[in-house]
A and B are shown apart, each in its own frame.
Chain A
Amino acid sequence: MRIRPSSIRVRLTLWYTLILACIVLVFSISVYLFVKSRLGQQLNQQLDKEFEAIAGEVSEEPGDVRDLEPESSAKLFQLVQGKNVFFQTGPYQKAELPEILSVPTVKYRTFQSASGKRFRLITGPTKNGFVLTVAQDEEALWGSLRTLFMILALALPSALVLAALGGSIMAVRLLKPVASMAHQAEKINAENLSERLPVQNPEDEFGKLATVFNHTLTRLQNAFERLQRFTADASHELRTPLTALQSVGEVALQEDLDAGAYRDRIGSMLEETARLTRLVDSLLLLTRADRGELLVSRKDHDLTRLVEKAVEDMRIMAEEKSQRLTTNLQRGARGSVDEDTLRRALVNVLDNAIKYTPQGGTISVGLKEGQNKIIIEVIDTGPGIAAEHREKIFDRFYRVEKDRSREIGGAGLGLAIAKWAVEANGGRIELDSRENHGSTFRIVLPK
């Protein structure tokens, strides 16, 4: 079974402890091996010294050795002469150390006696032909090592327990902002989207996270407010023709009219229905565009022709208002666009310009080719758009002067649709305007 600790705190602590365990283990093993090697070297040096001393004595007076009683020496050594043991000290015999008769290839070796005791032996020739073996009990060395092992074996788990505790406390402290952020975020819902997470230190990682989260909340809040406004506006726009429908119907029923008059009332109701249908169609178009359901198929088109045709279609509306509609179009500009969609954008922008330019005003339409782009401009001599409205002019249902616009007959969706239509063709729509100095709508399309 795989263990998957759910909380980051536990995971952090486990990782921390695990890494520390590895470090401590490596460290302990290193210390142990180092100490063991040092103690072994020291023992060898001691043996060397003793060997030199005994070998010296034996070389000077070999006879004296023979006189030595085995019991009289506390040292562990033996002398071999010509493959025969010449002398062994008492302790040497007692420890049942081996009879090494010739000089072995390895200088030092360890011997374990039948009783389990370990000895370090050094064997070498003396100047006068003996083979001398000196031994040292390794008990002291192993004792030290055992103690060291015990210390390390005890220290390792205690260090780990401390590490786990410390790590856990550290993780809790570290993750405290996360807990408080989660707590705060939990309280934010559709009703209080304006609330924000506290940012303690905007420079650290958690501060950055909270800042990013707050930005997301702001965007969410804006989207939410837009949606609410949109719903309110849409309901309002739908309500006007519905109210008219109802009142015309009610009044007609109460009156005693002839067939022609009834037909007229029904016609009036159908007009309102047509208004409703247009509005719903526009809304549906925008909704489907939002959902990405409207696919445009861009093909190479003569943009000059397209602009010309849109202008000619709308010219009659300008004529009705005695406006001059002039064009300055560069010939033969081509671009990859969806004809119907772009036409719709052009017609909507032109319609907007004609509607808001006063009687006798001028609207000029220009097209010029730039580097990698085509710029279409619709310049009017209308009232211009104040800065505070400029950004929102492409929003749905946004109107600078609500009542006047409704009189003119727009629902406030024309420019929103134009914006979508231009963007669907890979372009962008811009507005340059100064109050009382007219407006310029600029459609920039990629070539």
Chain B
Amino acid sequence: MVKHTITRSGRPISLTVKEFEIIEYLLRNHGQVVTREMLAKDVWEETQRATPLNNVIDVHIARLRKKIDEPFVKKLLHTVRGVGFILTERTL
């Protein structure tokens, strides 16, 4: 399986294709809240509504957070409850 690698503070982090696509999308919209609908539409290319994709997105985000935030004190990937996710250096 193709793996992608990013680095945070010089530390390499290995990501799956999907995780890489998500972080790429979050970086492009960095500082802005990204909703699940946006991720579904732009990362999964899912145009239909009310699919089981929301849970899938949540799991991917949880795993991604574990990889990029867990080893560090400063958290970057935040959940905005009821809205979506945001990648920012600000503490919420």
Contact = CB atoms under 8 A, between A and B. Distances in A.
**Are A and B part of the same complex?**
yes
Interface of A: 263-264, 266-271, 273-274, 277-279, 281-282, 285, 313-314, 316-317, 320, 340, 344, 347-348, 351, 409, 414
A175 B49 CA distance: 57
Contacts of A351: 52, 55
B56 A278 contact: no
A175 B52 CA distance: 59
A347 B56 CA distance: 11
Given A285-B50, A344-B48, A267 B81 contact: yes
Contacts of A271: 81-82
Contacts of A281: 49-50
A316 B51 contact: no
B44 interface: yes
9 contacts: A266-B82, A267-B83, A273-B82, A278-B49, A314-B56, A316-B63, A340-B48, A347-B51, A347-B53
Contacts of A320: 59
B9 interface: no
A270 B80 CA distance: 10
A313 B18 CA distance: 9
A263 B53 CA distance: 25
A351 B51 CA distance: 10
Given A266-B82, A271-B81, A344-B48, A278 B53 contact: no
Contact of B53 (A267, A313, A340): A313
Contacts, number: 57
Q: Which 7 A-B pairs have the closest CB atoms?
A: A270-B82, A267-B81, A267-B82, A281-B50, A351-B52, A281-B49, A282-B50
Interface residues of B, number: 19
Contacts of A317: 52, 55-56, 59
Contacts of B55: 317, 351, 409
Given A278-B54, A316-B56, A270 B81 contact: yes
Main secondary structure of the interface of A (DSSP, over half): helix
A264 B81 CA distance: 7
From B47, B48, B54, name the one whose CB has the most chain A CB atoms within 10 angstroms. B48
B75 interface: no
Interface string B48-92: 111111111001100100000000000000001111000000000
A268 B80 CA distance: 10
Contact of A414 (B18, B52, B53, B82): B52
B45 to A, nearest CB: 10
A182 B90 CA distance: 77
Nearest to A410: B52
A178 to B, nearest CB: 50
Given A316-B56, A317-B56, A267 B80 contact: yes
A55 to B, nearest CB: 116
Contacts of B63: 316
A252 to B, nearest CB: 13
Contacts of B49: 278, 281, 285
A340 B81 contact: no
Contacts of A264: 81
A283 B25 CA distance: 31
Contacts of B52: 314, 317, 347-348, 351, 414
Contacts of A273: 82
